[in-house]
Amino acid sequence: MKVNHMLVAAALTAFVMAPAAFADSGKGKGGTGGTVTPGTSGVADTRLVAKLRPVTSQDSLFEGHVVLRTSGGGRGEFEARVEVPQTLLGPDPDNLQPILMLSNGIPCTMVFDEIEPVSGVVEYKVSIRSRNGVIVNRAGFCGAVGASPTIPVVNLNDRATVDIGGDTLQGFFAAKR
């Protein structure tokens, strides 16, 4: 009987205490970063997100987001999406190429993605991915026209701004898990 109690106690310790001991792992230095990539000692994954909110327009459908993801395994991704009510645009929304400006002065040219038929929202995006040093522009591009493709460098609290016909979206990068 005593052995059964010891087995139950050992099982409870393994299933209850061990997860509690590791609950704060993966928060990075000071609890403000990403997670450590398996197989890469001390190299952290990063995820920074800026939620773009209207500065000038009060239309609740006018919004966007910008995401930068990097991993210790040589992968990176930069993606931005903006949703604009068709009423704020002219008759040819697919000819418009909004510019996303980052704090460091890097412009990102966004391209038309689609029009949501139900909501009447026009979507624009830029999407750039990197794997093992090879950068691919999936939609739009960042940097000077004619320059090599690049994933922009952004930091915590950097600003991202998009201006479309005098209506402005703005957000600041924050760490996300």
Query: pLDDT higher for 77 or 33?
Result: 77
Higher model confidence: residue 88 or residue 174?
174
Q: Is residue 17 part of a domain?
A: no
**Whole-model pTM?**
0.71
Is residue 114 within 8 A of residue 98, CB to CB? The reply is no
Q: What is residue 2's predicted lDDT score, i.e. its pLDDT?
A: 53
| Residue 6 maps to a domain | no
Identify whether 76 is part of a domain: yes
Contact (CB, 8 A) for 96 and 84: no
Residue with the bigger pLDDT between 119 and 10: it is 119
Q: Does 10 map to a domain?
A: no
Residue span of the structural domain in which 84 resides: 28-175
In a 13 Å sphere around the CA of 166, the CA atoms on its Cβ side amount to 3
What is the tally of structural domains in the chain?
1
Q: Which pairing describes strands 141-142 and 159-164: parallel, antiparallel, or unpaired?
A: unpaired
7 lies in some domain:
no
CB-based contacts of 131, cutoff 8 Å, min separation 6 = 74, 75
CATH number, domain of 165, equals 2.60.40
Reading the block at residue 11, the tokens are 């099982």
Q: State yes or no: pLDDT of 29 exceeds 50.
A: no
Model confidence pLDDT, tens digit, residues 44-75: 688 999 999 999 777 778 899 999 998 877 88
Please write the tens of the pLDDT for every residue from 104-163: 889 999 999 999 888 889 999 999 999 888 888 899 999 877 788 888 989 999 999 998
Could you tell me if 145 and 129 are in contact, meaning their C-beta atoms sit under 8 angstroms apart? no
Kindly state whether residue 4 falls inside one of the protein's structural domains. no
> Is residue 19 one of the residues assigned to a domain?
no
Please report whether residue 62 resides in a domain: yes
Q: How far apart are CA 4 and CA 108, in angstroms?
A: 65
